[in-house]
Amino acid sequence: MPAKARIIPLKPPRDPAATKIRVLDAAEALFMEHGYEATSLRAITAAAEANLAAVNYHFGSKEELFQAVLTRRLDPMNQARVELLTRLEAGAGSRPLSCERILMALLIPALKLARDPERGGKDFLRLLGRAYADPAPFIRRFLSEQYAVMIARFKAAFARALPKLPRKELSWRLHFIMGALSYTLAGTDALKLIAELNPHESTNDEILLRRLAPFLLAGLEAPLPDLSAVTRDLDGELGRTA
């Protein structure tokens, strides 16, 4: 191949995929505000100052656009979680990592994403929390694929930190943790639904996670449920109720 005098193009690549990014940004904002079904491609392309056909041209379909919106932030976040966990484990040497630190590896990347001044950030986590509850098959399939390796990785880490906790119990508690986390992050006005919190720090996700972490940590390390005893008590109340 002759060494062609490859002159550096004076013109910068103009706007490679500029409209593609504009569409992604607009879609992210609108999906988060109204949800997937309630957001039309016309609204998205209008907000992005792009042509209606741009979505189908660049992404193929509305579903693929939604997946692209999620992947853009979700993939790096989950990757950061695994990387942080790996780093912490390496730092701990042969000693098992504490639950608290494992939990931090799970929460900190989410916090960093929420803090990201770049467009999206906090709003994206709301979108994510909402996607968690979406019954659309393609969304569920996509999310379970995105989360599979990350969850498995953390489950193994927690299992080492909590050797006495049965695996099944751990699976449930991890499920509860993801639930409280995604629900909390998804909270639109849900916060006001529960209580009037001081408005000044309501947008401060760092404080939120610092409150959430001890809550989850305590739940994770809770004593095993004494099923029979709890059941008897519970049924007693149920009997009086029924």
Partner DNA sequence: CTTGCATTCAAACGTTTGTTTGAAGCCTAC
Partner DNA sequence: GTAGGCTTCAAACAAACGTTTGAATGCAAG
Residues 130-159 that bind its own copies (CB under 8 A): 130, 132-136, 140, 143-144, 147-148, 151, 155
Q: What is the DSSP letter of 52?
A: T
For its own copies, the closer of residues 57 and 215 by Cβ is 215
How many residues sit in the footprint of its own copies (CB under 8 A)? Answer: 87
Stretch that binds its own copies, among 47-55, 64-72, 156-164, 229-237 (CB under 8 A): 229-237
Q: Is 76 in the site for its own copies (CB under 8 A)?
A: no
Q: Is 137 in the site for DNA (CB under 7 A)?
A: no
The pair of structure tokens assigned to 183 is: 């629900």
Alpha carbon distances (Å) from 200 to 112, 124, 196, 203, 204: 20, 21, 11, 7, 8
For DNA, the closer of residues 16 and 223 by Cβ is 16
Out of DNA, its own copies, none, what residue 50 binds, judged by CB under 5 to 8 A for its kind, is: DNA
CB of 12 to its own copies, least distance (A): 28
Q: Is 33 in the site for DNA (CB under 7 A)?
A: no
Question: 165: which residues sit within 8 A by CB, 6+ positions away?
Answer: 158, 159, 173, 224
Q: Is 144 in the site for DNA (CB under 7 A)?
A: no
Out of its own copies, DNA, none, what residue 41 binds, judged by CB under 5 to 8 A for its kind, is: DNA
CA distance 132 to 139: 8
CB of 185 to DNA, least distance (A): 25
Encoded amino acid at 18, one letter:
A
Q: In whole angstroms, how large is the CA radius of gyration of the chain?
A: 22
The pair of structure tokens assigned to 143 is: 């999310």
Alpha carbon distances (Å) from 103 to 54, 84, 191: 41, 11, 23
Q: Is 39 in the site for DNA (CB under 7 A)?
A: yes
Q: Around Cβ 183, how many Cβ atoms within 10 Å?
A: 14
CA distance 162 to 156: 10
Instruction: Out of 2, 8, 9, 93, name the contact with DNA by CB under 7 A.
Output: 9
For DNA, the closer of residues 41 and 111 by Cβ is 41
Residues that bind DNA (CB under 7 A): 9, 11, 14-20, 39-43, 50-58, 61-63
